[in-house]
Amino acid sequence: MERKSVACAVVGAAGRMGKRICELVSTSEALRLAGATERPDFPRLGETLQQALGSVAANVRLVGRLDEISDPFDVIIDFTFPAISMETVRFASRTKKAAVIGSTGFSGDEMEEIKKLSRAFPCVLAPNMSVGVNTLFKLVREVALILGDEFDAEVVEAHHRTKKDAPSGTALKIAQILAQAYGRDLTQVGVYQRKGFIGERTKEEIGIQTIRGGDIVGDHTVLFCGQGERLELIHRAHSRDTFAHGALRAALWVIDKPNGLYDMQDVLGLK
C-alpha cells in the first residue's frame, strides 16, 4: 500500500527558516503542512499562512501554540531559539510526536533535559542540517586523527549580522569533534577570542573565532596548521534551502525511528 504523506507542524513559521520550510513542505509530495505556530504576540495569528506570509500557498491557520493545531500531525520541525525549542521538546515528550530541532545555542542543562525527554519520542537535533556540513563533520574527525597533534586546529565561522548566538552551533560542533579526536576537554582548551599580549599558542588549544556581517548565510573553515604546510576544510552555504532541505529529509527519516536523540550523521548514514 502506498504510504500517505507525512503531516508536519512548523514552529516559528514567520522566521527566516520557518517560512522557507513552510514553502517547501507546502509544495512537497512526501510531506503535508498540517499546522504552523508563531509567538503569542505575533500580530497575524489566526490568519492563514497564505494571508500572513504571502509566499506560502497554504490555507493552514497560524496559531500561537502547538496544542492549538487542530489537524493531526506526525512530526514537528523547529528552527527557532532555545527557549522556544525547549517548549517544543516538552510538548513532543508529552504527546509522543517526532521532532526535528535545528535551533542552536542550548546550554548544558538544556541539552541534558533534551536527552532525558527524548527517551519518550524520536528526535533529530542538529546544529546544521546541510548534507555538506555533515560531510565536513566526518572529514574533520578523520583529518584530525590522521594529522594528530603536530598540527594546530582552528575554526573560523562567519554569519549574517542578525545571528544572535556566537560561536555558531556548527562551529562548536566542529570544535567538539576536534576535541574528541584529540582526547581533550573542550571546556579547558577552547579559545574563543585573542587580544593583547597573550603569549604563545599552546599545543592543546582549539581556537573558535567568530565573524558577523551583512547577509552571510554561513561559512565555516577548519584550519590544520603545521610546520611548512596548512590544510583547510571549507564549507560555504549559499542559500538557507541547504538547511531546509536537510530538515525535510530528517522529518521523513525520524518518524519511523525508536525513541531517542539522533543527529544528521544518523539521518545521512555517516556513522
Q: Work out the angle at residue 61's Cα, subtended by the Cα atoms of residues 59 and 67, and round it to the nearest 5 degrees.
A: 135
Domain with CATH 3.40.50.720 in the chain: 6-125+240-267
Q: Catalytic: 159? A: yes
98-115: string of b/e by CB count within 10 Å (b at 16+)? bbbbbbbbbeeebeebbe
pLDDT tens digits, 65-119:
999 999 999 999 999 999 999 999 999 999 999 999 999 889 999 999 999 999 9
Q: Residue 8 pLDDT > 60, yes or no?
A: yes
pLDDT of residue 125: 97
Residue 70: strand pairing partners: none
DSSP string, 159-178: E-TT--SSS-HHHHHHHHHH
Q: Which of 4, 138, 160, 163 is catalytic?
A: 163
Q: What is the mean pLDDT of residues 27-50?
A: 93
Q: Which of 19, 97, 159, 220 is catalytic?
A: 159
Give which of 172, 198, 199 is closest to 186, Cα–Cα: 172
Q: How far apart are the first and last CA of the chain?
A: 31
pLDDT-derived band at 1, boundaries 50, 70, 90: very low
pLDDT tens digits, 157-170:
999 999 989 999 99
Q: Residue 40 pLDDT > 50, yes or no?
A: yes
Topology of the domain comprising 131-237: Dihydrodipicolinate Reductase; domain 2 (3.30.360)
Q: What is the mean pLDDT of residues 134-143?
A: 96
pLDDT of residue 54: 81
pLDDT of residue 52: 87
pLDDT tens digits, 201-243:
999 999 999 999 999 999 999 999 999 999 999 999 999 899 9
pLDDT of residue 106: 93
Global pTM reads: 0.84
Tell me the residue type at 173: K
Q: Catalytic: 220? A: no
> Out of 3.90.550.10, 3.30.300.30, 3.40.50.150, 3.40.50.720, which CATH number does the structure's domain 6-125+240-267 have?
3.40.50.720
Q: Residue 3 pLDDT > 90, yes or no?
A: no
Query: What rounded mean pLDDT belongs to the chain?
Result: 94
